[in-house]
Amino acid sequence: MSPLFTAHSGSIVRTVSLHLAPLHRGSAGSVSFIYSLLTKRLLSCPLAFARTWWRHLAGEEEDTTETQSLFDMARISAEKAEEQAKSDDERSTLEEDAARYSGSYFRSRSKTVEDYQRKVSDALNALGYSRKLVEDENKLVTLAEKSDSKTEALVTWITRNLFVSGKLRDDERLIVFTEYKETLFFLSNGCYKKASTKHAPPALRWHGPERVRGRQGEFEDKTAAVRLLLATDAASEGINMQEECRWVIHYDIPWSPSKIVQRNGRVSRHGQTRDVSVFYFHSNEDEDLEFLAYVASKVSTIQDDLGSVERVFDAAIQRHFQGKKIAQKQIDFAVEEQVKKSPSRTELGKSSATDIANLTERAKQLLESTDARLGISPDALVNIMRSAIAVEGQGALEEITGKPGFYRLKPPPRWEALARQTLTVGSRTDRMELVFDSASLKRTSRGIA
């Protein structure tokens, strides 16, 4: 189980949640998508929620005579934001549209909803997130500098783990993930400045999603001052940081288990030589945050079987945020039962040790016959590799002295990036050994060679 941050939920979450939940219960179940959107943002950070909330109320300018059209536009925008958005900006725009259309739809249906909306607005105003301030681009930096318990906990963790005696550690990096560009802005202004006041810049650098790939090399460069990468989920695809980083913090927890695994996979992957630590926030004062922390921890323990149980988590999350609470023991039981029914485990469970041995031997024979038919031998593979290196004009494949059949690659310049990613362990400059004959590998593993 992944270690967890312990943080109090903060007055804004408690106060706003008090009035947001009745808003959901006072509406039809078919509009739960907008409650989910608002709740996700509320649990992410105050600024992310406030920006969307005031857009939600901006829908008063829409024509409320076509209520079905308003509902359809809100639903379609929310679905596109969740499933089709290709960038943070596009997602933010679609979610603002969903919030605006749904706000008009709500008010056209019930005066009771207007009362709940007014209470949420009053709570935001009292907490310093008024519509006037939130919609004033010149005031956003000031709002982002407002403290809450999560940012304070993050700053404390950073100063304790990325610094020793006031100086940056050379051997550690940290990635902080969030779902929303507004939360990224909130952290890059507020949290960064709080950390920098305690340690002289350039202690930390924060990079938005559009710059992640361009800064990957700098993040992994031991001589650079960069120790922390802040990114949204849009940047979690395709970046591999396992060589220098082993710490991931989920500033907010996605409601999709596969997104949690995808985030963790940026550092927990082939080439990682250290134990990976993943951190989530949880709070005894906020049952929503506590529930999501439980889901995230559970996902980490059954990651290999996630495909067979993801629907269990999806259903549990939906039930929880619809007010239909479900005990953790029930979820544990459902997950265990589903894992038992996993096709891979079921098929393996039906096979005896003899069956497995026979299948393995048959597969080996098929592989050997294919190798013979196509002329794929260890010597042929070595010759192919050396021919490819010769075409490049630089590099070499050298057999290791005293270890026949084992080679070390000096890659041509154009191969360097791929070789670094696949053949280098951690920060070592020497490459992993290559072997082209599986029989040699078996002999070595058994201590014969």
Task: Report residue 136 as tokens.
Answer: 């004033």
Task: Report residue 324 as tokens.
Answer: 């239909």
Sign of the dihedral defined by the CA atoms of residues 62, 63, 66, 69, in that order: negative
* Total-model pTM: 0.71
pLDDT in tens, the chain (449 residues): 455 555 544 455 655 665 566 555 545 445 678 888 888 898 898 889 999 889 888 765 555 556 778 888 888 888 888 877 777 888 888 888 888 888 888 777 666 677 777 888 888 888 889 999 988 888 888 887 776 778 888 888 888 888 888 777 888 888 889 988 888 888 887 766 665 555 533 444 444 455 555 566 677 777 777 788 888 876 666 667 777 888 999 999 888 888 888 888 888 877 777 888 889 888 776 788 888 888 888 887 776 666 667 788 888 887 887 777 788 888 888 888 877 776 555 554 555 667 777 777 777 777 777 777 777 788 888 888 888 888 888 888 988 888 888 888 888 888 877 777 677 654 444 556 788 887 766 554 444 44
- Please say whether the beta carbons of 99 and 34 come within 8 A: yes
Task: Report residue 102 as tokens.
Answer: 């749904």
Sequence-separated (6 or more) residues with CB below 8 Å from residue 123: 12, 15, 16, 18, 19
Q: Count how many residues are written for the chain.
A: 449
Structural domain 149-344, CATH architecture: 3-Layer(aba) Sandwich (3.40)
H helices within 209-305, ranges in order?
Answer: 212-219, 257-264, 287-301
Tell me whether strands 396-399 and 163-164 are parallel, antiparallel or unpaired: unpaired
Task: Identify the pLDDT of residue 203.
Answer: 40
H or E, element range at 331: helix 328-340
- Please say whether the beta carbons of 316 and 331 come within 8 A: yes
In angstroms, the Cα distances linking 424 to 93, 138, 273, 433, 436 are 42, 47, 10, 10, 18
Domain boundaries, the chain: 7-144, 149-344, 370-445
